[in-house]
Each structure stands twice: as structure tokens, then as C-alpha cells.
Amino acid sequence: MSFFGMDCVKKKEQELERKLRANDREYNLPFKYATNAIKTSKYNPFTFLPLNLFEQFQRIANAYFLFLLVLQVIPQISSLSWFTTVVPLVLVLTVTAAKDATDDINRHRSDNQVNNRKVKVLIDRKLRSEKWLDVQVGDIIKLENNQFVTADLMLLSSSEPLNLVYIETAELDGETNLKVRQALTVTGDLGEDIEKLADFDGEVRCEPPNNRLDRFMGTLTYAGQKYSLDNEKILLRGTTLRNTGWCFGLVLFGGPETKLMQNCGKSTFKRTSIDRLMNVLVLCIFGFLAFMCTILAIGNCFWELNEGSQFTVFLPRQDGNDAGFSAFLTFWSYVIILNTVVPISLYVSVEIIRLGNSFYIDWDRKMYYSRSDTPAEARTTTLNEELGQIKYVFSDKTGTLTQNIMTFNKCSINGKSYGDVYDYTGQRLEITEHTERVDFSFNALADPRFMFHDHSLVEAVKLENPEVHTFFRLLALCHTVMAEEKKEGELSYQAQSPDEGALVTAARNFGFVFRSRTPDSVSIVEMGQQRSYELLAILDFNNVRKRMSVIVRSPEGKLSLFCKGADTIIYERLHRSCNKLMDVTTEQLNEFAGEGLRTLVLAYKDLDEGYFNDWKQRHHEASTLLDDRESKLDELYEEIEKDLLLLGASAIEDKLQDGVPQTIEQLSKADIKIWVLTGDKQETAENIGYSCNLLREEMNDVFIISANSPEDVRQELRDAQTSMKPGEDSVFLPEGTLGKGVKVMADEAVNGEYGLVINGHSLAYALERSMELEFLRTACMCKAVICCRVTPLQKAQVVELVKKYKGAVTLAIGDGANDVSMIKAAHIGVGISGQEGMQAVLSSDYSFAQFRFLQRLLLVHGRWSYLRMCKFLRYFFYKNFTFTFVHFWFAFFCGFSAQTVYDEWFITLYNLVYTALPVLGMSLFDQDVNDVWSFQQPQLYVPGQLNLYFSKKAFFKCALHSCYSSMVLFFIPYAAMHDTVRGDGKDVADYQSFALLTQTCLLFAVTIQLGLEMSYWTAVNTFFVLGSLVMYFVVTFTMYSNSMFLMSPSAFPFIGTARNSLNQPNIWLTILLTSILCVLPVVTYRFLFIQLCPTINDKMMFKVRQAKATPAPPPRRTRIRRTSSRRSGYAFSHAQGYGDLVTSGRFLRRPALSRSSGLTNAGRTTTGFSPMGRSAGYSPTGRPQNAKVPDVEVTSLQMYRTITDPSL
């Protein structure tokens, strides 16, 4: 695991250009460049207390309670003791400070782990081991194989030929295939000579720190010469050195100025929608509190004027205390008494609930990935309930949906398809891990990890089928892969993309082993025989050509051009004789595409010696032109890549992570919309969309937006809208705003299901202010959206667009540094941890190892957390409003004197002891249905998206319910005790007895209400509920005992009240009556509501009660085989290939070891061979294996000798 820090530091003065000199710290010091240390912590031991308290009192609730505390120490207005506020306030501040301290200690540890790594730095003409934090701009450092790159470096020299280094960029982009970087020749000559490196005094001028991962511009001035620097000369922090012995680099950017840290995105404090709603409600409650206090203050003024004068005889007023001043003091007194409408314990409880639900995620074994020993992790504790409200999921593709592992799956050669397995009846079998694998033991150079199941293909190779041999010969020759052989027979390939590596590995296993290359030759082992082909030209791949060709001369002197590329591109360049073979191959390509495979078409032609010499001369002249070089070369490539003869096609599987299609299907059923934002090509992304069930053949249409001008993009978007919803123009809901005048875009219903695929060029136009609403409207009408070739910035822009205009909760999930900005922009960010790197995880709110765990995170943990939090808030406001409103009614009977209706100790302990644990038990353990039913019925997730469980409407209902309950709790005991005497004739109706009765009725009423709210009773819940009632009576009898009164008469004035009152039957009958009257309307309302208009939860819980057992697992969705003409992505490198590098005129690697043939049963020695598995001549269409496709014209290749088995 690697940690590179999370947060960027504050920017200093804007830097316009970076200027530095190698090996000269004195020269570089005045520029005040950042060191290589990173700092993500906020506090140190001296600043923690003042800073943390300052931050905590910026929260309106904490400041409010501090204000109350100040009021309570003023004797003229306080009727409550100071400890009723100070105890909970200190508790809140302490818990929050402890949590902040723990988080900051972890950040310190992370910083120290990174900053204290060691690297070799050239100082005073010696290599010294230094900590990362001591590395400075302008230093020369030495890196060794498998070492993390310390800072952003300019590559100087390496151990590899041509000064190459191989790096893994998983931390940056999630891709595990290796990239190549190459140093300048002038610096490469420095080698590892310490003296030469110490004398190197080159000056670099380059761009200032920025977050562009794919671009670098600068110049190196050395020995009077100026050299251009680009991205190919730079090693970025966050990458890892692979397959390279050592390299030296010059530090250009350090610490927070590296591109990795610049990409960290703006760290924002994320708050849930419930938090935002709570802020609004708390402000409303403050307003309502002021309104109640004003009414009571006015009541006090009138009472003082009308009734108070009668008391002045024996209670004389102080000088100047008239009725108006008394009302003013009463206002503040009631602010103190009624402050429990916003109890401080609410915030403590919310933090505890969130922390507990976070632990459930951390402890969930069903989200633990044993293969990499990676558990799920809740990296934040403040967003759990938001997981139950997600409407849009934005996902990366490579490394998130897919494993970024390519496997050679199927192929078509000369019209025959290979790769499927059939039984003896001709039925196609599903390939599983138990299916018999092809035995490659005849080939000592085969890759043991390669798996293939169709035995007929290896039989065709052994039977020397000429088309099959040429097919694999092409795969072994037409590529830019580099081979490494450290031990005899142990080959490893370095490919620009995993696709190329998979194709070369397939050829290797089928007996055509690519062994080594030089700038002008390629050595392969063909069926055990070492052969060297002269490499005459590489016509390299790029995104426009979508193909690659090589021209080679065989050992026999035969000139051939081998070409592979996208089907549409190759088909345009085929000879007329291939038309019928092309039709057969197209049908097979459609079948491959239907299975989500990435396809390439392979073709070849033989060249005339004279023509080629003439072409080569013109090619040389064009390649040396200064102007219009690219177009001239393209013309020459077009000229020679004509009249090709079709060989067949390959099909590669970009392996999805386990469970991805099922997860996407489940989330779709939960009405969660999934958008894939990827840097991959359109074809690749589209077919991954099909293979993972995001796009489906059953969809009415899939719109492709690929225009290259704003007008065309707008038109394509409008055409799509018209197709989905003819004649509709309205975009906005007339009501509802997101604040600051931003209108909420409505969800529009469309007939059918649609998909949208848009490429990076079109997206750039679509995200412009004038068109963003058109794009958003079109995209939101679709079931699935795929954005291809997008930059990290565009990913964040798309997320922000949805957040801005949809008002929906968003989640972004990714695995690389290019996903960090998207992860930070979304309401919730999820990082995929594992082999792809940790940068996304460091910036995320939640992390786990596999995409499939997302459905459990949302449908189980998210839904439960949201449900529990909503139940908690509804119940908490109910019990506290009920508690507080009783004070309001009592004020009309105590002369508005701000006397409390309850004992002070009850007021202090009500929220902290008597009602704390039961509501926490419900909020931590309650669940409407278990996790199995949650998966079985994903529709249960929808109410969270619509905020049905807690909203302003629900809050208003809760307040009305509390108002009714408080009237019952005050007036029923009041009436019951009015003019009442005990059985012995003594009076019952004293203030203390009334206070005890009222608070006991209150506790029973709110406890019964809690029981009605709870759906899932556990032993813990039951213990908390009953234990709290027992605790109330134990504490009450203790507080009201003689011993406590004697210890402190002023603190415990209710002496004997409990034992004198609670032994009366009428007291218990009053408690029973008030409890029934409080819950009766709730039970009635719920009964009628469930009968007349039940919610989905009501229906589901009824079904669960009927089932009384765990349901059977849902039936597997059968894959619908697509037969459309959509083609899979051109399985090739994502960037321009290594063609120029391969032919650059110097050996790429040192001479390889002496080689044996590597094949034990080679070439023509097929005596005694018996077909394995499926018969060598069996075909699903009934044709013999080696028979030609009917009516396909014979090509020159098909005239080769074909071996057939007489037994066929």
C-alpha cells in the first residue's frame, strides 16, 4: 500500500515559469520552491485545543449552547442550574475533539510514512540515502527497480538500452500495463558515472506546477545547446519503476507541486442532505422558540399588571423592576427553559449513530475481498445516511468495472470460428473453471497462465493448417511489443496496451513465439524452429488509422505485409476475391461483439520486390520532409495497404470484475442511474457497456453523439430528445429551486429504455454553458450514459452539472488519480482499492476492493443507515418537543414565572440517561427487512431517493403530534390531581407530586412511542428500553431519598415525593390513561394508512411476515445473445505505438541468452498424433475443420498444401 497524501497546500504567488539548475541548491533556493514534504494534518500539540475549540464554536448549535450557559449564570433570569447545560456541552466538545484528534493523528502517521521514505540523492559528489522530505528541486536522485518515484523528475539516464525506463502508472490512471519513457541522448550518455552526473549543470525552464497528467513542456540548456522536453522525458510522482535496474532523474517539482498532488482536487467539507435540512429546521425551531418566549413574556407582562400587584404586599419588587422589565427577564428565562427543543444531545447521538453504522461497513465480511486481503472501509463517518439516497452513480471503467486483464478468447480463421466448446450432440457448452483446458505441454515456451478450451485450434496448428499458421505468424510479427528473457525460456512481454500483450501471448502458446527484436529484425520460434524476419517498415497505429502494419522479409526472401486493425478500416482495403469470406467473417464478428469481446481483423498481402524498393525510397524522402510530413506518409501508407487478403479476426475479452453485470442490474432496479465516464475509446467503452448489462439489446435505441462542431452536437442531442419524447419542449419544473435562483430540472418519463454514448470532443461542446442543459436533459432521459475519451476535469464537470441542476444525490467510484476530481466533486466518493493503486482511495469517503460490493454498500448499509437516521430524527424531535411543550402549557398556570414543570435533575438526565440508550438502540440495530430481502426487492431503495422518510412535511407532522401529546401529558395529570385527596385524606395536589406524575407519564408515553417505531427487536434493544425505565425509578427514588436531601437540601428538594406519590393507585391509572391517549391517534392513523395506501415498505414487511423464511435466491438472468452489427472496440493500444522507437537504429535490449527451440513436438513431426477433445474435423456447422467455406474464392494463401487426416 502506498500513500502519497491527500490535500494540496495553499497556493503561493502565481508562478509563470519554473527555472532551475541541476546540482545547485544555492541557485534554486531564492525561488522558494516547495520541498518534497507533504503535510495533510491540521493541528500540532500546541494549536490543537485553541484551533479545535474555535472550529467547534463556529457550528451554530455549539455557539447557541455556549450562549445559554452564559444566560444561566445570570441569577436574575436563570431558573435552572448551570450544570444542566455545561455537562452536555462539555461532553459534546470532548467527544468531537477526541474524534478530530484521532483523525489528525492518522494524518500525521500517513504524512510521516511518506515523508520518511528513503531515496538516494547525489550530494557533494556522493550518493547519500536521504528522506523524501529532504529532497529539493534541482537534486539528482537515483531510483531502483520497483521503487516509487519520489517527485516529478526529468529522466537523465537508465540501465536499459536507448535510455528507456518502464513505469507503472496505476496510481495515476488505474492502468497496470507498463508505459515507456526515454531520456535525451545527451543526458543518457551520463550513465551511472557519479562524477559525470555531479558535473551536470543543465538548466531547465518549464511550465509552472499544474494538474495536466498527459502534457509537459520545457527546455533543457546544457553545454551551450538547447533541447526540447516533453511528457516522454518525465517521470511523475505516484508512478512505480518496473523492469528497469536503475535510473537517474532531476527533480523538477516536489511535494505539493507535483502533478499527483495538484490533481488531488479541491477538498470540500461534505454534508448530507439531512444535515442541510437539519440546518434549515434548526433555524425554524429557533424562530419558533423566540415566538413561544415572546408570547410567554407578553403573558408575564399582563399577569404582572393584573395579578402581580396583589403580591407586592408580601413580595415587594426591587426598585425599577416594573412589569415591562419583568417581561424582558422572563423572555430570557424561557429561552433557557425551552432550549430543549434543540437539545445538544441530538448532535452527540447523531455522531454516535454515524460512527456505529460506519463500523458495520468496516466489519462486513461480505464486503471483504480475501484475494487481496482488503476489507471495506468507511473513511468518513458523516455520510452514511446519504448512501441510502443515491440517484446517480458515476463510474470509471478501467480497473473499476474491468480488471484491465485481457485474455485471448476466440478467433475466426478463414471463415471458421474457434473458441467455443461443444458436446457430442453439437450443443454449445458454457465454459467454466472446470471446463477442460487445452494442453500446451508440447510447447516448452508456452505461458502457463494462458487458458484456452477449444482443442480443435491447437489440432489445426499441429496439422499445419496454412491459414492457421499464417494467422499466428501475423500475430507474432505485427506488433511493437518488447520481449525480455532473464532466464532461458522465461519470457516476459512489455506492451503498450494489454490487448497487444494478449495477442502476442496467444501466438506464443500456439507455437509462434516472439523471442526478441532489433531495429531491423524480429526473431520468432515457429513450431520449434528459430526464424529471423527482416523488419523493413512499421506502419504504426494511431487513432485515425486504427490499424497497424509491418513489412517483413522471410528467411526464404519472400516479402509480405501483415496488417491488423478495426474491421471497418480493414474491410475497405480488401481484395475483391475476399467478398464472400468477408461476409462469413462479419457474421462471426457480430457474434463476438454480441458477447462484448474486443475484435481485430487480420489481413496480409505479398509484395513485389521492385515495387517495394520504389515505395521504400519514396517513404524515406517523405519521412525526412520538414513540412507536411504526416500527410505524405499517410498517402504512402494508404497506397501500400490495398488489395489485402483476409485471414480472419481475433476476439479478446476485457475481463469484467466478478459480479459487475448483476450489480448494475440490481442498481438499475433500485432506480439508480449509472453513467460511465472513461478515458477509453468509444468502441471499447460501448462494448464494455453491453457486456456488463449497462447497455442492453432490448433497449429501444442507443444514441451515439460523436459530432465535431457545436451545431452538430446540439442537433444530435435534439434528435435524440425527439426520438424519446416527440413534441415535448419543457425542461424545468415550474416550482422548486436549489437556491441562488438555480432551477431544478424535472425527471421526465419516456416510453421505453434508451442509452447514450458521447465521446470526449462532443462532450466538450455539450458542457459549454449554452448547451449543458440540452445535454443534461437528453442524458437524464436515458437509462444509461457512457462518456468516452473524457479528461479528469470533464469527469468532475459532468458530476457538478448533475449536482447543480438535478438536486439529486450523486456517487462517484473510481480507482486512479484521474478519478480523484470526480470522487471529490460527488456527494459521496468511493475508491476501488487493490492492485490498481491507492490514490483514489486516499481521496474517497468509502473504499473496497470490488465494484460488486457497491450494491451491498447502497442497498443494505446505505438504506438501513438512512432509515435509522430518519426514524431517530422523527422520534428525537417528538420526544423533545413533547418534553418542552409541557413547559409552555404550565406557564399559563404558574403566572408565567419561568418555573419548570419538572425536577431539575430530570431535566438534566432526560436526554442523557433516561431516553438516550433506547433511541440509540433503535438507531443502531433497527431494520425493516434483512439484507437478503433488501437484495430481493431493490425497489425498497426508492423512498430514500425521494426523501420520503424525513422531510419538512414529516417534521411538521412530528411537531403536531408532539403538541397533542404535550397537551395530554399536562392536562390529564392536572385534571386528575385537581381537588384530589389520598386515601388517608391528605392532599395530593402539591407542585412536587404533580412534577413527578407529569415526568413519569412523559417517560412512559415516549417509551411506548419508541416501541411503535421499532421494526426489529433485539435483546440489546429490549434491555435498553426496559433498563432505561428501571434506571428512571432507581435514580428517582435515590434522588428523592432522605439521605440525598440531608447531604444537599438545595440540590435535592423533592424529599419523599416518589414514595408518597407512586404508592397511590390513581397515579398509576393516570399514567395508564395518558399513555393510551398519547399513542391511540398514532395506532389509528397507521392502521388506516396501511389499509388504504400502503407504502412499498408496508407491502414488503407484510410479504416477509407471510414468508417467515429467507427467500430463495433470485433466478439468474439469462444473457441475451446479440446479433446486431455493433462491433467491439478496436483492441489495440490507447496511445500511439512504439513504431518509431522500434526502428530507431539501436538495439533495444542486450543480446538474449542462447536459446533452444523450446518445442518438444514441433512442426511436421505429427506421427502418432491423435486429436484431443473435440474431433479435429468437427465443426458446429457440420463442415470438416479444414474444408473451405463454400463459394469462397481461393486466395493465394489457400493454395498451400493442406494436411488432412484420412480417418475423416
Q: So which residues are the catalytic ones?
A: 396
Strand boundaries in 997-1115, DSSP class E: none
Within 8 A by CB and 6+ apart from 746, the residues are 730, 731, 732, 733
The backbone torsions φ and ψ at residue 722, rounded to the nearest 5 degrees and listed phi first, read -65, -40
The contacts of residue 756 (CB under 8 Å, 6+ apart) are 702, 703, 705, 720, 778, 779, 782, 784, 785, 786
For residue 836, the 8-state DSSP code is: T
Half-sphere exposure of 995 (CA within 13 A, CB side): 21
Cα 777 to Cα 298, 740, 780, 783: the distances in Å are 54, 21, 5, 12
Q: DSSP 3-state helix, strand, coil percentages of the chain (rounded to 5)?
A: 45, 20, 40
C-alpha cell at 107: 494524518
752: left (phi over 0), alpha (psi -120 to 50) or beta: left
The DSSP code for 134 is G
Beta strand pairing status for 673-677 and 390-395?
parallel
Torsions phi, psi for 878 (to 5 deg):
-60, -50
Q: For 406-441, give one letter per residue: b (16+ CB within 10 A) or e.
A: bbbbbbbbbbbbbbbbbeeeeeeeebeeeeeebebe
As given in the structure block, the three cell numbers for residue 1116 are 439468474
- 340 alpha-carbon distance from chain centroid: 40
Taking alpha carbons only, the member of 1011, 873, 880 closest to residue 954 is: 873
Tell me the residue type at 81.
S
What is d(CA 756, CA 746) in angstroms, rounded to the nearest whole number? 19
* CA distance readout (Å), 193 to 156, 199, 248, 505, 760: 12, 10, 10, 38, 46
Q: How many whole angstroms separate alpha carbon 481 and alpha carbon 1139?
A: 10
- Per the CB < 8 A criterion, the answer to whether 937 and 1116 are in contact is no
Would you state the cell numbers that stand for residue 73, as one nine-digit string? Answer: 449564570
Q: What is the DSSP string of 503-515?
A: HHHHHHHTTEEEE
- Give the integer Cα–Cα distance in Å for 805 and 783: 18
Rounded Cα distance, 925 and 134, in Å = 50
Separation between Cα atoms, residue 983 and residue 988, nearest integer Å: 10
Element (H, E) at 408: strand 402-413
- DSSP H helices, 189-337, are 194-199, 259-262, 273-306, 323-337
DSSP assignment of 648-675 equals: EEEEEEEEEPTTHHHHHHHHHHTT-EEE
Phi (first) and psi of residue 574, to 5 degrees: -85, 155
Residue type, 727: G
Write down the residue that cell numbers 543526458 correspond to: 187
Whether the CB-CB separation of 400 and 813 falls below 8 Å is answered with: yes
Instruction: State how beta strands 421-422 and 743-745 pair.
Output: unpaired
CA end-to-end span of the chain: 58
Give the Cα separation of 729 and 37 in Å (integer).
55
DSSP state letter for 1046 = H
Note the Cα 916 to chain centre separation in Å.
35
